[in-house]
Chains A and B, each alone.
Chain A
Amino acid sequence: MNLTLKIWRQKDAKDKGKIVDYPINGISPDMSFLEMLDVLNQELIGKGEEPVAFDHDCREGICGTCSLYINGRAHGPQTKITACQLHMRSFKDGDTIYIEPWRAKAFPVVKDLVVDRSSFDRIQQAGGFISVNTSGNTQDANAIPIEKENADKAFDAATCIGCGACVASCKNSSAMLFVSAKVSQFALLPQGQVEATDRVLNMVKQMDEEGFGNCTNTGACEVECPKGISLENIARMNREYLAASLKG
């Protein structure tokens, strides 16, 4: 396939940045999207130019590092997929493809397509844990049976990879889906109950301080979430938050 790439180039956080055109030829439909960018980068290096910086690591859809905004959609044209799982068979010969970084105030650009998502870590540090000593002197794991249905739901919420696609695709740059996934995981498990009140209050407070926008229930996050994290989690978090506010 022959393609035209229109890629956001930005030297560092202070630079203004602009879209630059790169024609590219001989792309195989079996390549992943990131492998296609590898090909481009090898060409650029061959010409003595600087390659395009983009974030990636596992290349199998689980680490949450890759973060490309492709043709106006987080992680590109397919649903329930990360950019590293996207293959070039999703495009046609002759296509023009826009590639941009996540755009949100709370995710400043580091370089080209790389953004800083440490705000997500700070939200987790505010309460995304269960305060248990890591000594191993805990009760036997089977001492508290957990209804399979709840365990499965908690698991589904826990599969969030922290990629930030929800924020990137939300018109308000809200982080509600991400935060609600962690809140829900613990809300559904007996172990998470004890600290439920503080957890939700602290995490929401941190989320606001990081500069994420409000949720207006447009649902774009759910559509673009590669792990299918459901809006139900936002509803659950809202209930938890309300209950905690009344208590607090």
Chain B
Amino acid sequence: MSILDSKIPDGPLADKWTKHKNEINLVNPANKRLIDVIIVGTGLAGGSAAATLAELGYNVKAFCFQDSPRRAHSIAAQGGINAAKNYQGDGDSTYRLFYDTVKGGDYRSREANVYRLAEVSTNIIDQCVAQGVPFAREYGGLLDNRSFGGVLVSRTFYAKGQTGQQLLLGAYAAMNRQIGRGKIKMYTRHEMLDVVVVDGKARGIIARNLVTGEIERHSAHAVVLGTGGYGNAFYLSTYAMGSNVTAAWKAHKRGAFFANPCYTQIHPTCIPVSGDHQSKLTLMSESLRNDGRIWVPKHKKDVEAIRNGSLKPTQIAEEDRDYYLERRYPAFGNLVPRDVASRAAKERCDAGYGVNKTGEAVYLDFAAAIERYGKEQAYVKGLDVDDKKVVTDLGKKVVENKYGNLFQMYEKIVDQNPYETPMMIYPAVHYTMGGLWVDYNLMTTVPGLYAIGEANFSDHGANRLGASALMQGLADGYFVLPYTIGDYLAHDIRTGPIPTDSKEFDEAENKVRADINKLINNKGSKSVDHFHKRLGKIMWNKCGMARNEKELKEAITEIAALREEFYKDVFVPGTENEYNEELAKAGRVADFLELGELFAKDALEREESAGGHFREEYQTEGGEALRRPEYQYVSAWEFKGKPSEAVHHKEPLEYENIEVKERSYK
């Protein structure tokens, strides 16, 4: 019997959550005042959880490393958030959202969690609208929807290309209300550096005040991590610069199992890398694929002419273009899921058809959409549908209305006008489906330690469909954790405040101080970024979109060697008692250097292709992912002192309500 007890309630799928809620222990409102909860992270997951737990009456302490909770990485999400509202009457339902999500995740997510996610999705929209989140509306005043890759219904709610921003500001406002009432104490510019475990339970954290350098002890009856994903292990990614794995990794070292670390999502529509100076990659919302057509030239001679500047993409005739997604996947076309779109782009570029100087870009073209919308508008307005200029102008307006801010963003970065010439895009690291292992209650393998949002592993499987991360973050924070945590906290109403002068707090603080001293006093010669970039190259080249046994083995050795070199030769300027961004970065990169190795080890173990995880040895003749039923499990790794010694546990995945089929979007 595995030590992984997922605590999935029994009974029919559709009743599990209701039944579970009915059976959960409740904490009397008067007793909630006696209970403290620490929430690390104020993104959609942490922010919504902090607001709700405070609303329920718990004393909440919230932490983030930014200068304001409003700046968490969730702010950058562009496209939208899913919910099975069926407002469009196109056949959506809880079951269909559940089904699409499990299928999209390549049957590597937990059925019960995903069903619950689909079930509460509709509440999220109601909640956010009540908070004043200005979602897009139709002329009749009702909410507007659009669709996203991998689905055939229109269930995505959005606020232009700034949905994450608006949802986060909603959660931030809900937090502000509680901060104003004194129910949340907010610690900004604080970084959590360890979890404190007392008698086997998470009872607090050690945090560093990033302005003064002070090391602080904070205790609570439970600790919740909403600390986001670890895609910055790749150095170049669409994550904010500060996103890191430290909180989750430190929790892992204290006994929380790390699940599916190698499951990384590569997003197909990002602005390609332009040079060595680059610090991050920018995503262009996937919603663009609703209207943009993706292509590369059919002929190599055209590719060459484009690369040397003698030919423009607009000069290539329709019949000389290869709309490869429409060709390969006629049912979904440009709207195939992300992993499929990403791999197809890589395949074309590897075959020599990439359209920029580095050969790593494909076109995303709006000319057809502009014409189609323009004609429609001309017709509505009674204008000449054959007048090219009229049609183009009208069409551009429509496209601007839908994607204006994205186009503007592109133009600022690339210095080209996407209304006139196709955008260039290429896949980039964007999201991590792996994270801390949690049970149905969102609790890790350390009692009292919870993980929510991108920091946990449970809902997305091997791939994540668009607009489902925001949904999960808010579902966890607003509607799931507030119930499930009560079950645990009900046992703590007589515990009283947790003292911070215990030996466990001493030990954790000393460890944090020792780690910092080691970094600060290391008289090396190379900057933190130097090591981070080198780690990123190994990760992208050997643990990226496509992986194979040989390279993964090399990656494991190379990362371990790089880590050793880091501790010999890193140089961190300044002191520990001041605002010192290099020191903060050094700690984060040190953790990436450990996680990276576990990542490669996990990828090596999984001899199958699933979702965003493509093992070259296991593909179908048509170049599609070859899933192997014997790998239908969650890998959960237990820390044993070194990443190389981590112990592998398996949680088998059972699908009782869905027939596991070869995922096909043809």
Contact = CB atoms under 8 A, between A and B. Distances in A.
Contacts of A50: 573-574
Interface string B17-57: 00000000000000000000000000000001001100100
Interface string B460-487: 0000000000000000001100000000
Given A57-B71, A64-B71, A134 B141 contact: no
Interface string A7-19: 0000110000000
Nearest to B479: A136
A152 B71 CA distance: 23
A247 interface: no
A58 B415 contact: no
A144 B131 CA distance: 13
A127 B173 CA distance: 9
A55 B166 CA distance: 22
Contacts of B317: none
Contact of A85 (B71, B275, B412): B412
Given A58-B240, A111-B578, A130-B132, A30 B66 contact: no
Contact of A56 (B188, B241, B582): B241
B218 interface: no
Contacts of B242: 57
B143 interface: yes
A38 interface: yes
A129 B277 CA distance: 41
Given A42-B527, A158-B134, A48 B143 contact: no
B487 to A, nearest CB: 17
Interface string A63-107: 111000000000000000100010101000000000000000000
Contacts, number: 213
B618 to A, nearest CB: 35
A221 to B, nearest CB: 19
Interface residues of A, number: 78
Contacts of B169: 158
B160 to A, nearest CB: 7
Contacts of A243: none
Contact of B240 (A59, A85, A116, A118): A59
Nearest to A158: B134
A85 B69 CA distance: 22
Contacts of A125: 176-177, 179-180
Contacts of B67: 55, 65, 116-118
Nearest to B68: A121
A191 interface: yes
B71 A147 contact: no
A141 B67 CA distance: 32
Contacts of A144: 129
B70 A162 contact: yes
Contacts of A141: 85, 125-126, 128-130, 135, 143
Contacts of A126: 180
A65 B65 CA distance: 12
B124 interface: yes
Interface in B89-136: 120, 123-132, 134-136
Contacts of A127: 180
B132 A65 contact: no
B279 A57 contact: no
Interface residues of B, number: 77
Contacts of B581: 51, 53
A140 B137 contact: no
Given A155-B134, A189-B134, A48 B571 contact: yes
A58 B412 contact: no
Interface string A117-143: 110110011111111111110111110
B198 interface: no
Given A114-B579, A147-B141, A192-B132, A62 B162 contact: yes
Contacts of B180: 125-127
B664 interface: no
B172 interface: yes
A173 interface: no
A233 interface: no
A210 interface: no
Contacts of B126: 136, 138-141
B71 A138 contact: no
B383 interface: no
B49 to A, nearest CB: 10
A188 to B, nearest CB: 8
A20 interface: no
Interface string B631-665: 00000000000000000000000000000000000
B279 A35 contact: yes
Interface string B226-246: 000000000000001110000
29 contacts: A12-B579, A28-B277, A35-B278, A38-B529, A45-B527, A45-B571, A50-B574, A63-B71, A63-B73, A63-B76, A114-B579, A121-B69, A121-B70, A126-B180, A129-B173, A132-B130, A134-B174, A142-B87, A144-B129, A145-B141, A148-B137, A154-B132, A155-B166, A162-B70, A185-B134, A186-B132, A191-B129, A191-B131, A191-B132
Interface of A: 11-12, 28, 30-32, 34-35, 38-39, 42, 44-46, 48-51, 53, 55-65, 81, 85, 87, 89, 110-111, 114, 116-118, 120-121, 124-136, 138-142, 144-148, 151-152, 154-155, 158-159, 161-162, 185-186, 189, 191-192
Instruction: List 5 A-B pairs, minimum CB-CB distance, nearest first.
Output: A145-B141, A136-B123, A129-B173, A138-B130, A155-B134
Given A60-B282, A191-B130, 9 more contacts: A48-B573, A58-B75, A59-B279, A87-B413, A114-B579, A128-B176, A132-B127, A136-B120, A151-B141
